[in-house]
Amino acid sequence: MENHPLQKAMLKKLASDYGTPLYIYDAYKIKQQIETFRKAFSEIDMRLFYAMKANSNLSILKWMKHLGTGVDTVSANEVALALRAGFRPENIVFTPNMVNFDEIKQAVKAGVFINIENLSNLEKLGKAYGKSVPCFIRINPLLDDMPWENDVEAWHKQSKFGIALQQFDRVHDLVNRYGIPVIGLHLHASHVIMSREVFLRGAQIVFELAKEFSGVKYLDFGGGLRPEEPDNPKVFDVFALAEAFREKFYQFRQETGRKLQLWFEPGRFLIRQAGYLLVRTEVIKNNGIVDFTGVNSGFNHLIRPMLYGSWHNIINISNPAGEKKKYNVVGNLCEIDNFAIGRTLNEVREGDLLLVENAGAYGFSMSSHYNSRFKPAEVMIVNDKPFLIRKRDTLDDLLRNQIEINF
Ligand SMILES: Cc1ncc(COP(=O)(O)O)c(C=O)c1O
């Protein structure tokens, strides 16, 4: 704990100054992740667009902008927030899924890059704007011979994302009929199926397809990369990935004489490990079988363990020398609400502070007011100094927009 990037003393002070539960972000770690990504791809013309769905706090967006990333948005509201954070339209890409065409019109008006992922909106784009609005096209490569058949079934064959490779004749028809300038191709494989092999198979398909579209200048490979984690076999080295990309990139240039720019839209790679949820133990309980440590948070603040079984390291910062014991770390919602089952922690006592690690991505951004509980405050550490970047809710936040009928 003494070597932890956020020192124990600082965490205790943050808890006493801002209360718990509290989201804490380490700006320096975000910077390191961006630098790692850039270093890996330094021999390729590459741009990063932070996937703001992972965490859309304005101060985080401004930090990303300060560090020179663009931003990947998925709703007209995200476009508005990105503009509000100061991103210029040419540094914003709009990658929505299944949206009403009006939302695309708003994005066109804002002047951001447009990514189209279904034939219906491609036709509407052509009819509305003809040659005047360029777009990216998102591909579903339908990789059906991958080793993890179940995940591929769920994430590709049943996928609602992108236009299936087999439907690209229709894409060409629409593009030719309306003269739509296709300037980019896009592929995002979810972290659930992501591996180096998937990434490279997908990349090969995209590079091949780029030969059919002479106006394509950008290839966008989305996000989905997990940051390095020593014990996770599904994590792959971004440097090895970049090396494999480099070959494809230069081979394409040699074969076609065309120079491409590669784009990536990482969310979790940039911010997952930079974020922590600091919670307080309210109740220690044994039901005759299991020891529970009940904390003042739950899936209303961090849904990932319940939603897709994400594993978060948890540290008892109040009793780091305590005897090791096994606990189910649970939240206070009136539902099954587990952060961790059978987790070994230094003995936890009521009042102890627990630090839930790797909570920066899809933590606050997926939080809710379920059980009428307040969302946590958020603090960002910049140059060792804490800045409050979101206040804790109050009752007014729960009442906002409600209209009462008095009977
Ligand atoms: C189109 C697109 N780009 C980027 C991302 C970011 O993914 P990740 O946070 O896994 O990097 C997502 C996540 O769902 C996405 O759908």
pLDDT at 154: 52
- Averaged pLDDT for residues 292-314: 96
- Work out the pLDDT band at 182, boundaries 50, 70, 90: very high
Determine if ligand 1 sits within 6 Å of the CB of residue 210: no
Rounded Cα–Cα distance for residues 299 and 99 (Å): 27
Q: Which pLDDT value is given to residue 2? A: 59
Question: Residue 70: its pLDDT value, please?
Answer: 98
Average pLDDT, the chain: 93
Q: Is 65 in the pocket of ligand 1 (CB under 6 A)?
A: no
Cα 246 to Cα 200: distance, rounded to the nearest angstrom: 11
Whether residue 168 contacts residue 209, with contact meaning beta carbons closer than 8 Å, is answered with: yes
Over residues 158-183, the mean pLDDT reads 94
Probe residue for ligand 1, chosen from 48, 64, 69, 72 as the CB with the greatest number of ligand atoms within 8 Å? 72
The residue contributing the CA closest to ligand 1 atom 3 is 222
* Cβ–ligand 1 contact at 266 (below 6 Å): yes
Tell me which residue has its CA closest to atom 2 in ligand 1. Answer: 222
Q: Which two tokens stand for residue 177?
A: 């009929």
Which residues lie below 8 Å from residue 366, measured CB to CB, with a gap of 6+? 303, 304, 307
Residue 316: in which H helix or E strand, if any? strand 314-316
Answer for the pair 380, 386: CB distance below 8 angstroms, yes or no: yes
Nearest-5° angle of CA 45, CA 47, CA 50?
Answer: 165
| Sequence-distant (≥ 6) Cβ neighbours of residue 377 within 8 angstroms | 18, 19, 22, 23, 388, 390, 391, 392
- On the question of pLDDT at 194 being above 70, the answer is no
Query: What mean pLDDT is predicted for residues 198-209?
Result: 87
Percent of the chain residues topping a pLDDT of 90: 81
pLDDT of residue 274: 97
Q: Using one digit for the tens of pLDDT, what is the confidence trace for 367-398?
A: 999 999 999 999 999 999 999 999 999 999 99
Residues with a known catalytic role? 334
Mean pLDDT of 342-360: 98
Q: Is 188 in the pocket of ligand 1 (CB under 6 A)?
A: yes
- Nearest CA, atom 10, ligand 1: 224
- 23, 276 in Cβ contact below 8 A? yes
Q: Write the pLDDT tens digit of every residue in 248-298.
A: 889 999 999 999 999 999 999 999 999 999 999 999 999 999 999 999 999
Residue 52 Cα to ligand 1 midpoint, Å, equals 9
Distance from residue 356's CA to the centre of ligand 1 (Å): 22
Instruction: Kindly state the average pLDDT of the residues 68-97.
Output: 98
Mean pLDDT of 354-365: 98
Whether the pLDDT of residue 189 is over 80: the answer is: no
| Nearest CA owner, ligand 1 atom 4 | 223
CATH number of 27-268: 3.20.20.10
CA 30 to centroid of ligand 1, rounded, Å: 17
Report the alpha-carbon distance of residue 309 to residue 235 in Å, rounded.
Answer: 16
| Domain residue ranges in the chain | 8-24+272-399, 27-268
The candidate with the shortest Cα–Cα distance to 219, out of 253, 193, 243, 191, is: 253
Q: What residue's CA is closest to ligand 1, atom 5?
A: 223
Point out which residues pair with 50 in neighbouring strands. 71
What was the pLDDT predicted at 234?
Answer: 66
Select 8-24+272-399's CATH number: 3.40.1440.10, 2.40.37.10, 3.30.300.30, 3.40.50.10610: 2.40.37.10
Q: Which residues pair with 356 in a beta bridge?
A: 277, 314
Of the candidates 287, 298, 278, the residue with the CA atom closest to the CA atom of residue 366:
298
For residue 153, pLDDT over 60 is answered with no
User: What confidence score (pLDDT) does residue 155 get?
Assistant: 53
pTM score of the predicted model = 0.95
